[in-house]
Amino acid sequence: MLLIRFSQIIFSVIICCALSMSYANTQTAEEFRTSLKSLVAKDLLQAHRNDVFGKTPADIAATNIQVLQSLDAYQPKQPTQKRVYAVDRDFAVATLRSINRNPIVSDYALYDYKNGLEIGFCFGRATYVHLALLRAGVNKDSIKKVWVVGPMESGGLKWQFHVATAVLSTEGQWLVMDTFSGSVMTVAEWLSFMNENSQDNKLRLYVTNPEKFSVALGKYDRVQMGLDLSAEQDWYSHYFVKLMKWMGTHPLSDVGLYDLRQ
């Protein structure tokens, strides 16, 4: 326990040091908008290896803070059709709760898919939240995916990345809806929570447009998602086939959501 407490103190010192650093290198609004798009096609595992090479935890913390600052300053494009620009916290909470009310993406449904416990399907839940927000009438540019990449461990399980979907709130904050963290959090709060699982205090935060499918892959793709494969051929055992079918045949009210435009 003393060792764990000491580690937490050291990490807090690292964050405080990073917060005191200059943010002269923070991206401009246009540079950040470009990165949101360009990171969709990138392998974030490889990007992480490049980004942390030769860097200290304080260096990475400073970079993450710059990303957070750029996101906080980001102004989504106004919708060109009748869509809502932002959601209130209550709707974000309802969206989080809807994950485990959905029979396909619920945490309890992982046992229905081969390799479910191995790969976790965080990117499947993030995809569901993205699509649910779109169906609810949210402005597409007011939705992002947030990724943390680096060695993590919790409860004896080890993994290399985690992703969730964030939405702009009416209070001007970006709120993350993630069953792993268990509650609606700001991106900064979510990053702090995820850092508790870091094995080297070098978790790198990336923010992308929401159409990024998985950490090493680009945009949603019929082949990658197995939409044209048999269940036996599909690595995801028709997880996404079932999700797309559910989206097309069930009202949002089935999971406690509704169209914000009505």
For the stretch 37-54, pLDDT in tens is 999 999 999 999 999 999
Q: Does residue 129 lie within any of the structural domains?
A: yes
Mean of all residue pLDDT scores within the chain: 90
Q: Does residue 82 lie within any of the structural domains?
A: yes
Residue 195 has pLDDT above 70, yes or no: yes
Residue 6 has pLDDT above 50, yes or no: no
> What is the rounded average pLDDT of the residues 207-215?
97
Q: Does residue 131 lie within any of the structural domains?
A: yes
Q: Does residue 184 lie within any of the structural domains?
A: yes
User: Residue 219's pLDDT is what?
Assistant: 96
Closest CA to 201 of 69, 9, 23: 9
Contacts 24+ apart (CB under 8 A), 153-156: 153/197, 153/199, 154/197
Residue 25 binned pLDDT confidence (cut-offs 50, 70, 90): low
Residue 163 binned pLDDT confidence (cut-offs 50, 70, 90): very high
Q: Does residue 99 lie within any of the structural domains?
A: yes
Beta bridge pairs of residue 144? 166
Quote the tokens at residue 65: 């803070």
Q: Does residue 260 lie within any of the structural domains?
A: no
Q: Does residue 262 lie within any of the structural domains?
A: no
Residue span of the structural domain in which 6 resides: 2-213+220-255
Please state whether 198 falls in left (phi above 0), alpha (psi between -120 and 50) or beta: beta
Counted domains in the chain: 1
Angle at alpha carbon of residue 111, lines to 106 and 112, rounded to 5°: 85
